[in-house]
Structure 1
Amino acid sequence: MTDSPARLLNLLSLLQTPREWPGSELADRLSVSPRTIRRDIDRLRDLGYPVEATKGAIGGYRLVAGTAMPPLLLDDEEAVAIAVGLRAGAGHAIEGVDEASVRALAKLEQVLPARLRHRVSTLQNATLPLTRGDGATVAPSTLTALAGAVTGRERLRFAYRAADGAETKRLVEPYRLVSTGWRWYLVAYDLGREDWRVFRVDRVTDPLATGARFTPRELPEGDEAAYLMRSMTRALGEELELDVTFEAPAETVAGRLPAHLAPVATGPDTCRLRARVTDSVNWLAIRLALTDVPFKVQAPDSLRTHLHHLTTRLTASLT
């Protein structure tokens, strides 16, 4: 193999298999001399790939963890698997999946060949996800379009459906995508309203990047985290003071709740969850029930009432 760039890519693909490769085997695979392999290994190191060499009569090479993340080479099956996983996580806002997942999906889908995009779509369309909360889902293509506009600082047009069903057209400067663990929101400066807005992404349709670049505006208040929290609170609705006790170890309960609901141990087999939340009482009731451990709601009263009504309806359905 005389084409040096092609040979380097093939060498890198082999090294990304988690094993140690003898230099002689690499030379045979690529039809070059061991000396050429040594030179190519040095080139990969210069490009930032941490290739470790072992000493000995035969000697070997393997790719190890470094201080930075170098580009990866993926075969067709690996690329499809990652794209499907990212789509599933992004589309349903699974806990722990945030804007970074959407950016990764946007980058991957941008370079996927048409045949692989078709395979991803086919598998996605044939899969029935089990959703939670109010069942609101987001098309991954919508998320990737928004993420691309945020990253590229590009003005964005889209249609938006308000809570009352009213349809409007918006032109915005997208600032940040925010995941609450069960919904996605877009924080943006609305040029038509000349003010900041928070949009539920599952109500956004037909997003279109205009190509017009912009310089990001400063948020009205210096504390970005505090402003975003207040914006999200207004968008989500009333903030609740949640206080729940569980008859189970804290680690058990924490493993069955979203990351933003973290109980604290009050004993070896008991724990307590106290938090300010903006989740709906219906969603909270379902999540607490899914912990499958005994619990008691101290507050808020609205959640206690909802649980009472839910229990009454479920009991009636059994008679």
Structure 2
Amino acid sequence: MDVAGAAERGTTERVLTLLGLLQQRQVWTGPDLADRLGVTPRTVRRDVDRLRTLGYRVHASQGVGGGYQLGPGQDLPPLLLDDEEAIVTAVSLLIGAVGAGDAALRALSKLDRVLPTRLRHEVRALSGSVESFDGARTPVDSDVLMTLARACRDEVEIGFDYPTGNVARSRRVEPYRLVASDRRWYLFAFDLDRDDWRTFRVDRMTEAAARTWHFRARVTPDAAAYVQEGVASRVYSRQARFLVHAPADVVRAQIPASAAVVRPRDSEHCEVLSGADNLDAVLLRVVLFGHDFQVLDPPELAARCHELAQRLLSAGTAGPADC
């Protein structure tokens, strides 16, 4: 490579580095950028002009607090993403944001900030279709997740196969929200065949496809709360309710969101709703909170408390000769 070619490559790499720096911070002073790039402030000004020529809106201001700032709505996206690529990228970042935390959230925010208005609206619409009450873990097919998210955004019916017992049955729903729990992704939707709200695990869906029929949005329950209550109680054969003598925030910190719904009663009491196939497990969980409590439902669980209490008292008073 000749000297001119090497110089051009060096300029290109430096301009790309400058673009990355402008995306990392709201405002940069000229001397700060020059120091980071190892060039003079005059070279920084020339590189900023190159970015403007390429379609990036770089604002410059004078005085205290002034400097260079990358504006939103570029004519030329940094990654040259088309609509489909922007949606796929946003879905991937949303998955990472729920499971991986700040790094993915920063990347999603950066993507939203520098894309043109048309693509930014696509990403924001997709983000509005996702809710969470904890962090997701179980991997899901990104194509299925993207299909569901777009159907939520566009308000179109969606069909998929879903197992009922040992048989996969076709379902036809109006999708409203994707909700992430501590382990899985769920679709909150209105089941047209059952004429009621339902929760579906995304990892159990197959053959998911959007239909052409648009629906009129219904008045909906709180999606995250509905799915959380379903995960914590409705999917189990037995449910229990307790009045716990502790603030709701304290109890929420003691139990995963997928294991129980905690509702405040007042500043010093809360109601805990949980489910299990064996209510002894739920009872033990509430005992281990370390707070006073009363059983609200079912009535037979209160009798079970007395039975277990007598057994524990007997265990505590048994001497060596009784063993």
State the TM-score, normalized to the length of structure 2.
Answer: 0.49
Q: Which has the larger radius of gyration?
A: 2
Higher helix share: 2
State the TM-score, normalized to the length of structure 1.
Answer: 0.49
